[in-house]
Amino acid sequence: MVTQLTPQAETVATSRYYLKNEDNEVIETAEEMFKRVGQAIAKIDMQYGQMDANAALTAIDFTSMMSELKFIPNSPTLMNAGTDQGTLSACFVLPLEDSMEDIMKAAHDIAMVQKFGGGTGFALSKLRPRGDRIKTTHGIACGPIQVLKTLSRVSSMITQGGKRDGANMAVMSVYHPDILEFIECKKVEGEIHNFNISVGVDSNFMKAVESNADYNLINPKSNEITGQLNAREVFNKIIYGAWRNGEPGMIFLDNVNKDNNVIEEYGEMIATNPCGEQPLLGNESCNLGSINLAKFYHEDHHDVDWKNLEKVVKTSVHFLDNVIDANKYATPEIEKMTKATRKIGLGVMGFADLLIQLKIKYNSIEGRKLGKDIMSFIRKIADAQSIKLAKERGTFPAWDKSNYGEDEKYRNSCRLTVAPTGTISMIADTSSGIEPTFALAWKKSNILEGQTLYYVNKYFERDAKAHDFYSEDLMEHLSQGGSLESREDVPPWAKEIYITAPEISAEDHVAMQSAFQEDCDSGISKTINFPNEATLADVESAYLSAWNLGCKGITVYRAGSREKEVLVKGTKDKKEEELDDQLSFFDSMEAPVKAMESDCCDSPQVIMESGCKTCKSCGWSACHIA
């Protein structure tokens, strides 16, 4: 079939994915790109005893599902498969131990990984704190933040294949003596710009937050207690940073390591890839790919096309397992570790667009149930396909050192990951990951190329015309950041179905993340969007909800809290609230409080269908009773 990309998708593909000659002229089409990738990945079948003819049939299957935009692999696979630039995986975690040799090795490896499109994560937790004495040189340790800045400078030198900037994640344990410095290390916008940061916490810390207790700081080098901090005060600083500019996020390491099936052999996972959805061991990598759920709406039955979805899940698992062998690895250590566990990350995109076609509200019990049902279905099929591949090719080599049972002989130590799908969802012309529709008219800045791409939600435009409420005035209103709520010319059903991310409560955002997380053996990339006027209490509620609902991590973003934004809804500027008004929230809070039954106001809003109530009119402390 001939692949038809939208003009915006063509712009992205031309700048990032299509092969070019020495004069930087594009030398392939979308159809040729997918064929290049499909054939390169299908060739691996011959390493497992398949005949040339069978591998050719596999190539047709791989190419078809990509050409039909039902499945798209992660960017490095699209960029590099079938070329001499063989790095095909997107997600890496590199070890960072406490020695000059290890730090410089990490700097080298970050360059090698990012050279061809990989994103890297690090845990700073094993580095000795700033000011610690170094016995070998009698010097003083510079501390993890200076190491972080050094790695950031290395990453800044690299533009991945001339196509995109390097991306990184730094995680620090909340028990590290330098945790306060880490929480504030990105206070000034633009500093350490190519690293996201997250604080690694566990249930003990979160319980200490609830009880307003102190906790111990541990020197990772000596394993000695170096002091104490009040958990609530540290949590407050995390919440303030997230409100201020979206960082730091939090990673709930207990939940992460529940799915670490090789923990006894390789230890805990303490870091993730740049967007937080893929926890990995040191030197582990994972290649990702996403199924476009918008393509699985069965119009005749007004339901999900489960049969077609099953077929694509099976083919996708096969594809991603082949990628592991087709890869050319940046370092021998990464190849050894990746092939020991053979992790793959099959995820989804287009979920919001599927809901729209089914006329289901994103922020509804029905919407969350569908999300859980889809992820449960994908997990069942993916697990079965991985077991089938293991019978044909063998289990992942570290299986005998894992805690899997005899009926769990998998080819891949984990199978599922829900990634953000930033550019590949643009290629597929669909909503990203499991995110709600960001806006009905918006622009996206391609900082590397200096381009701004404009979009209108195709389903909304179609429905508006079909139901006679389309107008140029309405579209102009939306393009300027306006909401449907204020429009009398838009029917109520459309306002519900076409609700956008900033209009959805944090509770509903987190609930959707939790719905998918239950059946995902890695993590979920999900941004909890807040309007500019969101309060510190709103952010705290989201962080606590994520922990209570079993998520593996959380990232929030308050509109307008950064000068540079990739996605922009409309063009209106919003005035940021006075900081003092927000900081006063902390003055009256000694400990976070659990929402309980309350009749303190006339119009309570139910949170998460749990029986707990709060309201926006009477204030946080009045409705939340300790």
* 549-602 pLDDT tens trace: 999 999 999 988 877 665 556 544 444 444 555 555 555 554 443 333 333 333
Which one, of 372, 365, 358, lies nearest residue 296 by Cα?
358
Q: Would you call 215 exposed, middle or buried from its count of C-beta atoms within 10 A (0-12, 13-18, 19+)?
A: middle
Residues facing residue 139 across a β-bridge: 134
User: Residues 276-322: pLDDT tens digits?
Assistant: 999 999 999 999 999 999 999 999 999 999 999 999 999 999 999 99
What residue ranges of the chain have pLDDT lower than 50?
160-161, 163, 447-448, 571-578, 590-626
CA atoms within a 13 Å half-sphere pointing along the CA-CB vector of 339: 13
Catalytic residue among 255, 260, 261, 275: 275
**Looking at 185, 196, 260, 277, which residue is catalytic?**
277
Torsion, CA 422, CA 428, CA 434, CA 436, rounded to 10: 90
For 319-365, write each residue's pLDDT tens digit: 999 999 999 999 999 999 999 999 999 999 999 999 999 999 999 99
DSSP 226: E
Dist. CA 58–CA 583, nearest whole Å: 59
**pTM metric for this prediction:** 0.89
Contacts 24+ apart (CB under 8 A), 1-8: 1/31, 1/64, 1/67, 1/68, 2/31, 3/29, 3/30, 3/31, 3/34, 3/67, 3/68, 3/69, 4/30, 5/30, 5/427, 5/429, 6/429, 8/426, 8/429, 8/453, 8/454, 8/455
As a whole number of angstroms, the distance between CA 347 and CA 208 comes to 34
Packing angle of the helix pair 536-548, 506-517 (nearest 10 deg)? 20
Query: In the chain, what is the greatest distance between 2 CA atoms, to the nearest angstrom?
Result: 77
**What are the sequence ranges of the domains in the chain?**
83-592, 593-626
Q: Which of 273, 283, 287, 327 is catalytic?
A: 273
Gap between the Cα atoms of 313 and 296, Å rounded: 12
| First-residue to last-residue Cα distance in the chain | 61
Spell out the residues 6+ positions from residue 239 whose beta carbon is closer than 8 angstroms to its own. Answer: 536, 539, 540, 543
Q: Check if the beta carbon of residue 87 is closer than 8 Å to that of residue 329.
A: yes
In the structure encoding, which two tokens stand for residue 65, read together? 């599902």
Element (H, E) at 120: strand 119-123
400 CB burial (10 A radius; 0-12, 13-18, 19+): exposed
305-to-309, 363, 470, 592 alpha-carbon distances in Å: 6, 22, 30, 44
Active site residue 286: no
- 577 labelled catalytic: no
In this prediction, residue 158 carries a pLDDT of 80
Give every CB contact of residue 123 below 8 A, 6+ residues apart in sequence. 93, 96, 170, 171, 172, 173, 200, 270, 271
CA distances from 528 to 516, 566, 570 (A): 14, 16, 19
What pLDDT is attached to residue 579? 54
Rg of the chain over CA atoms, in angstroms?
24
Calpha distance 521→472 (Å, rounded):
46
> Quick one: which of 230, 196, 244, 143 has its CA closest to 532?
244
Q: Annotated catalytic, 275?
A: yes
pLDDT at 55: 97
Q: Which 3 state secondary structure label does DSSP give 180?
A: helix
Distance, in Å, from the CA atom of 250 to the CA atom of 214, rounded to the nearest integer, reads: 19
CB 296 within 8 A of CB 309: yes
| pLDDT value at residue 580 | 54
pLDDT of 592 reads 44
Amino acid present at 538:
D
Q: What is the DSSP letter of 290?
A: E
Domain 83-592 in CATH 3.20.70.20:
yes
